[in-house]
Structure formats: structure tokens, C-alpha cells
Amino acid sequence: MSTEGRTSRRAVPTQLAALAAGVTEATIRKWASRGKLTRYGRPSRAEYDLDEILSLLAQKEAALT
């Protein structure tokens, strides 16, 4: 089975997303509720795309410079 052309997510739970971004879990949830991040997973277990988080952080950094 070929995976060419597919985009795969590197989904991480809220706690790891917060750790990767250097923010609190509440901030990750707030970003998701405001549409800055896409929330994946089940209703009882949120997950976030690590690449999307890193992209958001890069955008924030670029806006500061």
C-alpha cells in the first residue's frame, strides 16, 4: 500500500502538545476553541497535530520580529 500523496498527522495528546509549545494545557485548549489549532481524537481524548503546533509557533515568532 502506497502512502505517497497522503498527509499523516503526528497527533499528540494535550499534555504533550502543551509541552512541545511551551504553554499550558489550558492554552492549547483555548487555541483549539478559537480555531487556531485543529482538535482531533475522541470526545474524551483530545489530540493535536504536532506539525500544526510548530507551524503556529513559527507564525507567532515571525509576527514578533
61: alpha, beta or left, given left = phi > 0 and alpha = psi -120 to 50?
A: alpha
Q: What is the pLDDT of residues 27-51, one digit of tens each?
A: 999 999 999 999 999 999 999 999 9
How many residues are there in the chain?
65
pTM: 0.81
Distance CA 19, CA 16 (A): 5
Q: Which domains does the chain have, with CATH numbers?
A: 11-64 (1.10.10)
User: Where do the DSSP E strands lie in 1-65?
Assistant: 11-13, 39-42, 45-49
Q: What is the pLDDT of residues 3-17, one digit of tens each?
A: 454 567 789 999 999
The predicted structure's pLDDT at residue 21: 96
Give me Rg for the CA atoms of the chain.
13
The predicted structure's pLDDT at residue 4: 52
